């Protein structure tokens, strides 16, 4: 089953800057929170964020959970815009505490200046949909965390959701209801039957 998903972002300013000659510059603090209505009037179930954090632990171990300076209008991470590398994630209650290294890349060096001289935020980037109750749905896919100023300055971003485009996501069958699975099975069978009939007609 495919669904139309949009880029969803949430910004946190609850972090501190850690600097040392040996380890460089790091951002440490709350990266995301569950079961808490944020400034965009959205909430995330803890079970969904636990699932997504579990999925990206492999990227952390492989040192490949990159983040950009600013939010791009797409889900892909652009190597030219990489500024941070998330190195640690852990749960403390309903909060995800993270640690990200600010890199010595062109964008990373710009980021170092910005976080020293002004206010920045650490912001999650993911694909998904939002229910009428304000909760992000089960189709949510966490991509990374980026270092941002204020994405709402861009007219394409509305309350942290990029409205300029949608992306198709395939929802695993385990996330479908029994009725939805039956409907999908009937549609697949019907399509298969018509394909067989067409093949027979062509052979006549």
Mind telling me the catalytic residues? 71, 123
Q: What angle do CA 115, 62, 22 make, to 5 degrees?
A: 45
Q: Point out which residues pair with 6 in neighbouring strands.
A: 128
């Amino acid at each position: 089953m495919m669904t139309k998903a949009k880029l969803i972002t949430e910004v946190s300013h609850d972090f501190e800057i850690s600097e040392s000659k040996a380890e460089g510059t790091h951002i440490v603090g709350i990266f995301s929170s569950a079961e808490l209505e944020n400034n965009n009037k959205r909430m995330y179930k803890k079970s969904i964020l636990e699932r997504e954090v579990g999925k990206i632990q492999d990227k952390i171990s492989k040192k490949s959970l990159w983040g950009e300076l600013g939010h791009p209008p797409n889900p892909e991470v652009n190597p030219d815009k990489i500024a941070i590398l998330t190195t640690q994630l852990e749960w403390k209650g309903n909060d995800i505490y993270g640690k990200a290294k600010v890199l010595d890349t062109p964008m990373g060096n710009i980021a170092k200046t910005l976080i020293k001289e002004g206010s920045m935020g650490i912001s999650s980037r993911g694909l998904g949909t939002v229910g009428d109750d304000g909760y992000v749905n089960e189709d949510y896919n966490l991509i990374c965390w980026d270092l941002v100023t204020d994405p709402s300055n861009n007219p394409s971003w509305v309350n942290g959701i990029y409205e300029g485009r949608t992306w198709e996501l395939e929802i695993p069958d385990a996330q479908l209801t029994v009725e939805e699975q039956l409907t999908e099975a009937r549609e697949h069978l019907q399509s298969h039957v018509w394909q067989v009939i067409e093949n027979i007609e062509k052979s006549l």
